[in-house]
Amino acid sequence: MIRIVVDAMGSDDHPTPDVEGSVMASREYGVEIILVGDESKIKPVLDTQSPGNLPIRIVHAPEMLTMEDKGEDLAFRARHKDAKNSMAVGIDLVKKGEADAFVTAGNTGAAMVTSLFRLGRIRGVERPALAPIFPTATGSCVVLDIGANPDCEPNHLLQFAIMGSIYAEKVRGVKSPKVGLVSNGEEEGKGNHLVKEATPLIKSSGLNYFGNVEGKEVIGGKVDVAVTDGFVGNVMLKTSEAVAKLIVEKIRDSIRSGGLLVMVGGLLIKPAMGQVKKLLDPSEEGAAPLLGVNGLVFIAHGRSDATAIKNAVRVARNAVEAKVLDAMQQAIEESLKRIKPG
């Protein structure tokens, strides 16, 4: 049975959505759940869910990492061998082979730092990348990095391309994923210094390289993997989320203020609007993988509700079943033999 660790102290409203989503996931997906965090807070919530004989257990971790943990203090709490915070305890279970993946809706920076210190990197990967799934006109696109690395070197983008391609193929089921390099123009030769130097590396990598893509090509579904540095990726993510929210809100406001006929029409299109809202809702995907660390780590949004946590567990389970970590390790090893960046 697949074993998923859930940081029960991760979400903004912890531990309720974390625990409720975990119970839902165990029931629906048949996975073992290990809830990590303050047992005195977790157990009362778990009891309200009537878990019965579901394979769910609690591992006590009396401390937690928050948005206030930064700099040297964060590094100390993330790497100390006897750390008692929920992220460190949960990730250690993965490192020791007592669990297959770790899911948290906690501080993204803390999750990344803790994962790096306690799991280390896949050999050949210099920078792990956070890789959410963007909805597109033709399905979805893995975009990486979206914030873990605001400053990158060309070889980092090559590594992102390899990891994103493996994830798209193994977890998303995309055969020979098309990889695009995010730029300010489609033509080769466009882009900043980073894009121009990364282009020949990715072209010679053996990946199914599509070429440069602008934001409109990403959303239009021209590629399955979009590679960029964390600064540009984070701007893309935040902008797309804000635009999606604005469109839904404006349509709703127009229907409410448009009079009786418009309101009747709104009722008729309600099912279609529900499908659009579902497509744009980040909770449907649940969590983004942190690719490049030597273990499976998934980071969900701090505002995650129970459904988002349930879906995050599903995504983690799919990655375990696909043996994506082994495939990524092998692909990076092969790239090291074939290419010598820089």
Do 187 and 334 sit in the same domain of this protein? yes
Confidence of residue 74 (pLDDT cuts 50, 70, 90): confident
- The average confidence (pLDDT) of the chain is 89
pTM (predicted TM-score): 0.89
Q: Which of 31-45, 65-79, 168-182 is predicted with the least confidence, judged by mean pLDDT?
A: 65-79
The pLDDT, as a whole number, for residue 315 is 95
Which residue has 């129970």 as its token pair? Answer: 306
Do 118 and 195 sit in the same domain of this protein? no
The pLDDT, as a whole number, for residue 65 is 85
* Residue 341 near residue 154, CB atoms below 8 Å: yes
Do 272 and 314 sit in the same domain of this protein? no
Do 196 and 303 sit in the same domain of this protein? no
* Residue 38 near residue 9, CB atoms below 8 Å: yes
Condensed to tens digits (0 to 9), the pLDDT of residues 79-107 reads 888 889 999 999 999 999 999 999 999 99
Q: Give the total number of structural domains in the chain.
A: 3
Which residue has 């033509």 as its token pair? Answer: 187
The pLDDT, as a whole number, for residue 341 is 45
Helices and strands counted in the chain (H then E): 13, 12
Domain residues for 173?
A: 130-238+330-338
Q: Which of 38-47, 87-96, 173-182, 255-264 is predicted with the least confidence, judged by mean pLDDT?
A: 255-264
In this structure, the chain runs to a length of 342
Order of all β-strands in the sheet with 133-136: 133-136, 139-144, 225-227, 178-182, 208-213
The rounded distance, in Å, linking the Cα atoms of 99 and 97 is: 5
The pLDDT, as a whole number, for residue 111 is 92
Do 40 and 165 sit in the same domain of this protein? no
Residue 342 pLDDT > 50? no
Provide mean pLDDT across the span 231-258: 85
- Distance, C-alpha 180 to centroid of its chain: 19
Residue 5 pLDDT > 90? yes
The rounded distance, in Å, linking the Cα atoms of 20 and 89 is: 21
CA-closest candidate to residue 285, choices 298, 266, 268, 271: 298
Q: Is the peptide bond before 73 cis (omega within 30 degrees of 0)?
A: no
* CATH number of the domain within which 228 lies: 3.40.718.10
Do 74 and 102 sit in the same domain of this protein? yes
Do 107 and 35 sit in the same domain of this protein? yes
Residue 196 pLDDT > 70? yes
Where do the DSSP E strands lie in 14-117? Answer: 32-37, 56-60, 101-104
